[in-house]
């Protein structure tokens, strides 16, 4: 396999989730070994996608540098990961990635419109070589060695429409588009009301999130019967993109979120629980097929 970028620039304008202001997002191709780089065009600052550049994980994954940041990167990065894109310039003119419909499907469509282009350098993967786990009381996230890419996630909410949900996802680009990409972010009405009272979630609406009251949802319907846990996998894929390369291993979590995912990426590097690998033709067929 070779490194990937997109074939041509594409852009979209949408609303930022928290400030509720328009944001222009532009995706641009980059050459081999450039990595993923965010660029704040209004500030003239580039922010490479690296775990050490994560500056906040409370409400979303936020990366920053020199006091300039880009928030809510996880949905976009989830789609970028799913297409195996290694080199990309992500240009925004504000401090948030637009929320669009609250899932990753719009970003999938942007990448499809741009096209995926293979470059000349061999594609690098982070192959997990030993178990790494982060715990927080009963919450946990772990990654273990595997020859495949898999995500297992379980959630447990005291809400009649959610309850305990578990989903096991065997990664491929095709499976991602069908099973994960359309799962929307979700929140509870009382939390939304509080966030707005402190100047956050100003761009949130029934058009870009599942909103729940104490008994049910305010939206018309769900896209999947277990859309909530599928969105958690969508987020996890985006958060794990901070490793800098597609990883090969098995991810498992219970009630985890952006913060634990971030700690996991840091610990993988701290413990050298990986090796950087490329593949010859004989060995790469299964992984290459996953990204076809």
Active-site annotation, residues: 258
Question: Which residues pair with residue 2 across a beta bridge?
Answer: 122
Going by their DSSP bridges, the two strands 54-56 and 10-15 should be labelled as unpaired
3-class DSSP state for residue 127?
strand
CA dist., res. 77 & res. 49, Å (int): 10
CB contact at 8 A, 4 and 117: yes
H helix or E strand, kind and range, residue 165: strand 163-170
Max CA-CA distance within the chain?
A: 57
Q: What angle do CA 188, 207, 257 make, to 5 degrees?
A: 45
3-class DSSP state for residue 69?
strand
Nearest to 12 by CA among 116, 111, 115, 117: 111
């Amino acid at each position: 396999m070779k490194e990937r970028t997109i074939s041509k620039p594409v852009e979209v304008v949408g609303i930022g989730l928290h400030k509720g202001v328009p944001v222009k997002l532009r995706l641009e191709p980059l050459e081999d070994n450039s990595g993923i780089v965010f660029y704040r065009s209004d500030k003239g600052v580039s922010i490479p996608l690296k775990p050490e550049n994560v500056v906040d994980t409370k409400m979303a994954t936020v990366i920053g540098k020199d006091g300039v940041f880009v928030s809510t990167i996880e949905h976009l990065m989830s789609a970028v990961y799913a297409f195996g894109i290694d080199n990309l310039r992500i240009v925004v003119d504000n401090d948030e990635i637009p929320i669009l419909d609250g899932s990753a499907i719009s970003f999938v469509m942007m990448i499809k419109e741009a096209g995926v282009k293979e470059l000349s350098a061999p594609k690098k993967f982070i192959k997990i070589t030993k178990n790494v786990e982060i715990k927080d009381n009963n919450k946990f996230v772990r990654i273990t060695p595997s020859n495949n890419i898999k995500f297992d996630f379980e959630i447990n909410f005291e809400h009649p429409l959610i309850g305990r949900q578990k989903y096991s996802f065997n990664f491929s680009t095709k499976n991602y588009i069908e099973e994960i990409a359309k799962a929307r972010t979700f929140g509870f009405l009382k939390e939304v009301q509080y966030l707005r009272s402190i100047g956050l979630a100003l761009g949130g609406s029934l058009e870009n999130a599942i909103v729940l009251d104490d008994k049910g949802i305010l939206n018309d319907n769900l896209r999947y019967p277990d859309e909530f846990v599928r969105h958690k996998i969508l987020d996890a894929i985006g958060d794990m993109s901070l490793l800098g390369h597609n990883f090969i291993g098995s991810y498992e979590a219970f009630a985890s979120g952006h913060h634990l995912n971030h700690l996991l990426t840091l610990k993988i590097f701290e413990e050298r629980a990986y090796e950087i690998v490329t593949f010859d033709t004989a060995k790469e067929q299964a992984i290459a097929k996953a990204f076809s």
